[in-house]
Amino acid sequence: MSQDLLEVKSLGRAFQTRDATPSLRWVIEDMSFSVAEGEFVTIIGPSGSGKSTLLNLLSQIDLPSAGEIWVAGERVSEASLKKARPGLDCRIGYVTQDDNLLPWRNLLDNVVFPLKVQGRLDAQGMERARALLDAVGLLGFEKYYPHELSGGMRKRASIIRTLVYDPPIILMDEPFGALDAQTRLHLQSDLLKLWTVKRKTILFVTHDIIEAIGLADRVLVLSRAPTHIASEHVVDLPRPRMLDTLLTQPAFTALHERIRGQVQ
């Protein structure tokens, strides 16, 4: 009906409390939103608002306690499901907060790891991996082990490890959280550049309002737990965007003010 690639309907996730009389504590409750194909959506919310819980549900490494998740018109997750399908047959990529590179594989072997386990590591895949390494400035570091690379390089590697197998939906959980401001700005620009070329559907969680606006077509603001969507903001800033000059634009500052009022 709609051409939304990802739809979340009345999603809920509850955990057992550790009190004397165990009860259910709802971290996410009655959350609904949808993401169109090729859209870049950022999600922002106070800490402890269940952002990671939400991404774990969407990436299917966790199952909801209520509600449904639909991908491309197919119901893929609901409370009655017994077994999760992590990554939904490689249709959903997930760039986690930690880079989660395998310490015993060198950079190139880490980047092509998904292709290898999917049995798709051919000359073409190798070429794509090299092109991505080139795009993020990692060419020449293929043989390095993760511990020999800087935090920013590891982060880039973990992002292109997801891009290399081309999942239609990519989830990102504060991927630039632990980096210094300069590296952050670099990586944000890199990400926008890659997205402009590939036009993936991206759902990007952050707690940084500037980042949330700068990257997105649309910003979803989460409420405090039990979390639902508190508000939604279309970012009407022209692309391509220069992230470092964005801050001075009136449209940006107005939006920033509006969202800041709601996040607190």
Q: How far is 214 from 221, CA to CA, in rounded Å?
A: 15
Q: Tell me how many residues contact another protein (CB under 8 A).
A: 25
Residue 90 contacts another protein per CB under 8 A: yes
Backbone dihedral angles phi then psi of residue 245, each to the nearest 5 degrees: -105, 0
Q: Which tokens is 238 given?
A: 């022209």
Q: What are phi and psi of 45, to 5 degrees?
A: -170, 160
Q: Using alpha carbons, select from 186, 195, 114 the residue that is nearest to residue 155.
A: 186
* Contact call for residue 145 and another protein (CB under 8 A): yes
Q: Tokens in use for 211? A: 């980042």
Residue 100 interacts with another protein (CB under 8 A): yes or no: yes
Tell me which stretch binds another protein (CB under 8 A): 28-36, 98-106, 183-191, 241-249: 98-106
- CA pair distance 232, 222, nearest whole angstrom: 9
Q: Can you tell me which of 33, 94, 195, 204 binds another protein, judged by CB under 8 A? A: 94
Dihedral, CA of residue 141, residue 142, residue 143 and residue 146, to nearest 10: 70
Which of 45, 50, 64, 87 is close enough to bind another protein by CB under 8 A? 87
**Among 94-102, 196-204, 206-214, 221-229, the segment contacting another protein (CB under 8 A):** 94-102
Window 182-201: residues binding another protein (CB under 8 A) = none
The binding site for another protein (CB under 8 A) comprises 59, 61, 86-87, 89-90, 92-94, 96, 98, 100, 102-106, 113-114, 117-118, 145, 147, 161, 165
